[in-house]
Amino acid sequence: MRDNTTCKMAEKYQTTKGWRCEKKTSNHRRAHWLDYQDPAILLLTLVTTDRLPLLGHLQGAEIVRTTLGQHIAEEIERIPTYKEASAIEIYNYVIMPDHVHILLRIHDRLPKHLGRYISWFKRQCTLIYNQLSNKLGELAPSTRQEVDGVQISTTNQADSSLVLGANSPSNKVFPFCPEYHDRILTHNGQLMHMVRYIQDNPRRLALKRANKELFKIRQDVRLNNLPCTTLGNMFLVDYPVKQVVQCSRRLSQEQIDKQKALCLSNAEQGVVHITAAISEGEKRIARALRERGYPLIILLHDGFPKPDSPHYRYFKPQGVYFEACAMGKLLLVEPHRELLNREDIAAKTEAKVGPIPHDSQRYRFVAMNMIAEELAKGSC
């Protein structure tokens, strides 16, 4: 299914503003080209306060909802019955321990910004929460108790189902954080990806918990004397044969296909490929390698959230790279910023492109490929 109105607005914004050139990190993704009243399909994410697992717990690859989680699921289904909200249709949703995803469609223009209806939904959830907390009572910070049949320890907020109340350090009484994240459907095929993403959330959480070391961000790692931040299977660096994937932007479709076939053949023989996946050809080859289950090392630029970011702990690769990471066939490497200007890297980069500003995109792209070549030379 495709919402042509939304897609056309997105295409117009890409043409006039160029979000690829002005990309800025946003935790909430409010699009400038949509007023959130016009017809659209959106995937919303609402996170619990302090990321506490108030809504359920993982059992196998399924989420067992708490009483609060079940009530919130029922409230999600009631959103279209809110005043002046009949144009909203709930396509799908999932209740996770510490967040919810809601896929919805705005059929006709809403009289108010979508955020007003989400605020109303959160107010209703707060009322539900307060009613339940009165029944369950407040949990002492140092005790172990059972809520909905689940043993919890309130000494560890990350693993507890703590009922927020007077015992919470911030004395918050809201089950959800004030903001929410949105992702807007903009192209063909995206809706099915959104549905699959929602349905697959519990399994992905199970995979991540079962492979914690593979999903751990490691700071200040040295790979072949290259200071980096990494996530994934560090042993990929020790493979005896590694090869860098580089594709000039000038390559024809035929040339890219030929190089892709060669890389796939080499991977079949045990070669581990390294790429910054910058050019379109590099991206296509990297995806082909991953889709066929071959190991891959990807170089990133500003790819990980900072350690002091609230998103640091919850970072994970997306799409096929998530599956690859869980199977130990992916290593993400973010070279430290100073490495781009290190004397040997700078000399090799300038030998290839000449003396250009080190803060230019061209310099960074070529320097990343030089780092990939250094990484391919040895092991950690």
239, 251, 276, 365 alpha-carbon torsion, rounded to 10° = 140
Whether 289 and 184 map to the same domain: the answer is no
pLDDT of 301? 86
Whether 16 and 163 map to the same domain: the answer is yes
Residue 362 φ/ψ, nearest 5 degrees: -60, -45
Residue 195 clears pLDDT 70, i.e. is over it: yes
Sheet holding 40-47, edge to edge: 88-95, 99-106, 40-47, 181-184
Q: Write the DSSP assignment of 211-253 as a string of letters.
A: TGGGG--EEEEEETTEEEEEEE-GGGGG-S-EEE----TT--H
Whether 180 and 263 map to the same domain: the answer is no
Binning pLDDT at 50, 70 and 90, where does residue 30 land?
A: low
Whether 95 and 161 map to the same domain: the answer is yes
Whether 250 and 169 map to the same domain: the answer is no
3-state SS class at 363: helix
Residue where one domain finishes, among candidates 210, 234, 266: 210
Residue where one domain finishes, among candidates 154, 185, 210: 210
Whether 202 and 220 map to the same domain: the answer is no
Per mean pLDDT, which of 33-42, 92-101, 345-354 is the most reliable?
A: 92-101
Whether 189 and 216 map to the same domain: the answer is no
Whether 127 and 264 map to the same domain: the answer is no
Residue where one domain finishes, among candidates 168, 189, 210: 210
Cβ atoms 349, 370 nearer than 8 A: yes
Place of tokens 């700078």: 346
Point out the least confidently predicted range of 1-5, 96-100, 268-272, 311-315: 1-5
Whether 228 and 365 map to the same domain: the answer is yes
Residue 313 φ/ψ, nearest 5 degrees: -65, -25
* Alpha-carbon span 332 to 325, nearest angstrom: 9
Record the tokens describing residue 246, joined without a space.
Answer: 């580089």
- Other CB atoms within a 10 A radius of the CB of residue 215 amount to 19
Cβ atoms 209, 245 nearer than 8 A: no
Residue 170 clears pLDDT 50, i.e. is over it: no
Closest CA to 236 of 279, 281, 267: 267
pTM above 0.75, yes or no: no
pLDDT of 380? 44
Place of tokens 């950690």: 380
Q: How many structural domains are present in the chain?
A: 2
Domain containing 276: what range?
212-377
